Amino acid sequence: MVEFRLKDLARKRGIATAYQLQIAMGVDPGTAARLWKKTGDDREGITFGMIDRLCNLLDCGPGDLFGYQKEAIRTKPKHRT
């Protein structure tokens, strides 16, 4: 699963709320709220442009914003006949 580490990085840089993120990035409230709530299991994507803006704001790279945890593969049990 992909991890989105925005909140951790933002808090280390003094941004503790979606509102503060909105002001710092100059985006509308809905965009800031979606970013702030985003987790790795969200189906909604994030654009390269937004990743670039976040990296500039937080002085980090995409690898700092995202992590990856491999999930165990679930197999279907075999049915006995």
Interatomic CA distance for residues 23 and 36, integer angstroms: 13
Interatomic CA distance for residues 79 and 81, integer angstroms: 6
Q: Classify 2-68 by CATH class.
A: mainly alpha
For residue 54, give the nearest of 44, 62, 42 by alpha carbon. 62
How confident is the model over 5-36, as pLDDT tens digits?
999 999 999 999 999 999 999 999 999 999 99
For residue 51, give the nearest of 36, 40, 66, 34 by alpha carbon. 66
Structural domain spans, the chain: 2-68
Our CA angle for 45, 47, 59, nearest 5°, is 115
Global pTM?
0.79
